[in-house]
Structure formats: structure tokens, C-alpha cells
Amino acid sequence: NAGVTQTPKFRVLKTGQSMTLLCAQDMNHEYMYWYRQDPGMGLRLIHYSVGEGTTAKGEVPDGYNVSRLKKQNFLLGLESAAPSQTSVYFCASSYRSSYNSPLHFGNGTRLTVT
């Protein structure tokens, strides 16, 4: 099992450009999450999904969109990147809700917006 795989690992964007981050899991998990990690601010939840075809907003959803067309994939989109979106992005998945099963994280995507 690969677990949770994120692509790409690194990316540099110019302000206004768009991109999509891909998260794939092979553990048949129902729940998937996107977090961003910034120094001194911990892990902040952007969007999450409780099952195929569902999405919900987290703590900091503005400027991001997500889709969960297939159970194993969770895509995070930036339509018009801003320097404030420079961060490390982590995808995670869990079998059921985080209360019943631990989160499994990917290795992260380091995004720089200039």
C-alpha cells in the first residue's frame, strides 16, 4: 500500500496562476482532508470530504476549491494564486470520522507563490 500520495511535491507559481494539487489514497478511506501548514499556525483545515461526491468547508476555505469525484482522490484547486497561499499543503485521509480512526497524512506539497 502506498498510503496517501500527493502530487506534486514542489511547485512555484506566479500570482494569478492556477493549479490543482492531487491527493490519492489506496486504503479505501471514506474521509479526506486538505490542511495547510504555516510557521506558528499549526495545521489549518481548508476543506474536507466525508465521502465520494461530498465536500465541506474547513477553517480557511477562501481562495480554494475541492472536488471528490472518486473515493480515492481528493483534488485541491487554486483558481488565482496569491502570495498568502505560499504554504506546505498536507492531504490526509481516515477510514471514518477522525473520532473513530486516525488521520493518515501524505508527504506534503510545498507551494511558493511569487
Partner 1 sequence: GENVEQHPSTLSVQEGDSAVIKCTYSDSASNYFPWYKQELGKRPQLIIDIRSNVGEKKDQRIAVTLNKTAKHFSLHITETQPEDSAVYFCAASTPNQGGKLIFGQGTELSVKP
Q: Give the one residue of 23, 75, 103, 113 binding partner 1; rule: CB under 8 A.
A: 103
For residues 89 and 36, is the Cβ–Cβ distance under 8 A? yes
- Within a 13 Å sphere around the CA of 24, how many CA atoms are in the beta-carbon half? 7
**Site mask, partner 1, residues 34-73, x = CB under 8 A?**
-x----xxxxxx--x-x-----x-xx--------------
- Residue 114 neighbours by CB distance under 10 Å: 10
Q: Is 22 in the site for partner 1 (CB under 8 A)?
A: no
Q: Cα(85)–Cα(71) distance, rounded to whole angstroms?
A: 26
Residue with cell 472518486: 70
Q: What is the sign, positive or negative, of the torsion defined by CA atoms of 30, 25, 61, 108?
A: positive
Q: Is 112 in the site for partner 1 (CB under 8 A)?
A: no
> For partner 1, which is the closer residue by CB, 80 or 107?
107
**Cβ of residue 109: shortest distance to partner 1, in angstroms?**
12
> For partner 1, which is the closer residue by CB, 14 or 62?
62
Residues that bind partner 1 (CB under 8 A): 31, 33, 35, 40-45, 48, 50, 56, 58-59, 90, 96-100, 102-103, 105-108
